Amino acid sequence: MQAAVFEYLKQKNEVEIVICKDDKDAFAISNAAVFAGKKSFTLPDFRASFGDDLRPYRNELFELINALRGYCKEDSSKKILISPIRTLLHPLPKPHLFETDTVKFGDMIKLDKFKEKLLRWGYNFVDIVEERGEASFRGDIADIYPINFENAVRISFFDNQVESIRYFSVQSQKSQKEELESVTLSPALFSLDGKSYEKMNEDIEKLSSNSIAFDMESLGFWTLGENGQNYISGKKCIYAYKMESEIEEVSQLYNADLNFLKAIAVIPEPSMYKDLQISALKPFLEFHKEHKVKILARSEALVKQADIELGGNVEFVQSLLIINLISQKEIIISLNRPLQKKRRKHPSILLDELKIGDYVVHENYGIGIFRGLQNTTVLGAKKDFIFIEYQGGDKLLLPVENLNMIDRYIADSGSIAVVDRLGKGSFLKLKEKTRAKLFEIAKEIINIAAKRELIDGFKMDISNAPLEEFQSDAGFTYTSDQKKSIEEILRDLSSGKVMDRLLSGDVGFGKTEVAMNAILCAAKNGFQSLFIVPTTLL
């Protein structure tokens, strides 16, 4: 895939949008596009359905807005937008919703109007700013965390005049020493004026949704109306590969006529380059001494770790790209690995569930005793902390918003909890031992799965099963997920391999109906089935 994208984009300048299946493919295509000299902007695989509460999709929505803002603001013929197919089917914000506001040292700003603007722009007002898209006003200090910034911004005022602008760490809440002359703030969601903001709120109230909160953050994306547009329309789009099955899948999902997607062309097969996969790098390079080799790596240290000698036909190129290609004369090899995205873990307990004296486990410091909440002043603002006591009377104050870092301690039957000691490191050693043991268990599971693959299973004839008649008598129409699950299960049953499958779904979502289709197939092939219903668990 990368070979086809690289070779095509190297020659073509008119392409504006490349469409693919998911995030993984979009990432690979983006690397190939950049290597071909393009300015790439990548949209996430945004899988929310119309009317869904978008708070769980907060990070994906911010990523989408950042990428679209960059794409719309970029004034270059070499810019290119890369997107999974589902994301482009939503009406996306028009360019005018990405307007910015520059705050300079010495500016006169009316704080009430400044707050109103940030509210219209989708900022979430909190006591302490910790995540992107949040803002806090405490006296003459405004903390703002734009979604496209690495660090939050602290603006200090003297009356209505900007006295200082600094970045600050959301972990320590401490400002950096260096002052900024100015800062350009972008919207957390959309740069709406007063009239558009009121119109959006009216549309949100009319929206049919199961969302608990009917506000801009939860549902505003679904009510863009005239402020939204179809980014495919009027642009030169191309598929990274054939996508007939994906188009059919999303057509069923959205229950819409998407035949216009079938008119989009597909990137042709490459003629010069091929995708490359290498298992043993040094022997591979020795075998291709006649090729010119480019080694891509984020630092020369990676090249040394790989024990590669530079010079001659081997050239080092400092780059963050991940792309591996081969032609008759050239080889491109990347030593980089994808960086894992860190996601904020949700708390597994509630503060109301904890009683003073309960044992809790901190993910870094181990077992301690919950001693209640303690209100402490930090940087002039009062804040609640979780008070945890450790051995020797040592205490840990954990901000309540970091509740996700602790869990209730559950001891083995008959055992007594032993409180850990802060700074000793014994708990971290225990975590490492547990991690090593889990890897051993995982290895054993993989070996068992590998052995199962070698076993010949029963090969059922699914053509004998009168499934269409059975499904038509169900009294309801199967969902697309049910149909897909049934197809995959029947494919397994007819493959001659041992099936290893878990069907997951909420109560009442039709798992039993899917199982009955598999049971019917088994019965028609002369097999008995055992259907166990764990009613005691339900």
User: Domain extents for the chain?
Assistant: 2-95+199-266, 101-185, 276-334, 351-423, 462-524
Sheet of 152-158, strands arranged across: 124-125, 134-138, 141-144, 152-158, 161-168
The pLDDT of residue 422:
83
Name the token pair of 303.
């090249």
Q: How many CB atoms lie within 10 A of CB 185?
A: 22
Alpha helices in 190-278 (DSSP H): 194-206, 216-219, 244-254
Q: Which helix (H) or strand (E) holds 112?
A: helix 111-120
Tokens of 354: 């904890």
Q: What was the pLDDT predicted at 536?
A: 56
| pLDDT at res. 413 | 65
Instruction: List the beta bridge partners of residue 92.
Output: 229
For position 163, what pLDDT does the model report?
A: 94
**Three-point CA angle 387, 388, 394, nearest 5°:** 110
Identity of residue 477:
T
CA angle 108, 114, 119 (to 5 degrees): 170
Over the range 281-314, which residues count as b (16 or more CB within 10 Å of their CB) and which as e?
Answer: eeeebeeeeebebbbbbbeeebbeeeebeeeeeb
pLDDT by residue, tens only, the chain of 538 residues: 899 999 999 888 788 999 999 999 999 999 999 999 999 999 999 988 888 889 888 889 999 999 999 999 998 889 999 999 989 888 899 999 999 999 999 999 999 999 999 999 999 998 888 889 999 998 899 999 999 999 999 999 998 999 999 999 887 788 888 999 999 999 999 999 999 999 999 999 998 888 878 889 899 999 998 899 888 888 899 999 988 888 877 777 666 667 778 888 999 999 999 999 887 888 888 888 888 999 999 888 888 888 888 888 888 999 999 999 999 989 999 999 887 665 556 567 777 778 899 999 998 888 999 999 888 876 566 778 889 999 888 888 888 878 888 888 887 766 778 888 887 677 878 888 888 899 999 999 888 888 887 888 888 888 766 888 888 888 888 888 888 899 899 988 888 888 888 888 887 788 999 999 999 999 988 999 988 876 655 5
CATH of domain 2-95+199-266: 3.40.50.11180
Q: Report which of 405, 404, 373 is spatially closest to residue 388, judged by C-alpha positions.
A: 373
**How many angstroms separate the CA atoms of 156 and 137, rounded?**
10
The token pair at 294 is 């480019």
Q: What is the pLDDT of residue 256?
A: 65
Structurally, what CATH architecture does the domain formed by 351-423 represent?
Beta Barrel (2.40)
Q: In what order do the strands lie in the sheet with 39-42?
A: 39-42, 79-84, 17-20, 237-239, 265-266
With both helix axes pointing from N to C terminus, report the angle between 2-11 and 23-35 in degrees, rounded to the nearest 10.
40
User: In angstroms, rounded to a whole number, what is the distance separating the alpha carbons of residues 372 and 388?
Assistant: 8
Radius of gyration of the chain (CA): 28
Q: How confident is the model at residue 33, as a pLDDT?
A: 94
Residue type, 298: R
Phi and psi torsions of 440, nearest 5° = -65, -45
Task: Determine the Cα angle at 206 with ends 201 and 210, to 5°.
Answer: 100
DSSP 55-71: GGGHHHHHHHHHHHHHH
- Are residues 318 and 300 in contact, defined by beta-carbon separation less than 8 angstroms? yes
The CATH T-level fold of domain 101-185 is Penicillin-binding protein 1b fold (3.30.2060)
Contact status, residue 71 vs residue 82, Cβ threshold 8 Å: no
For 302, the 3-state DSSP assignment is helix
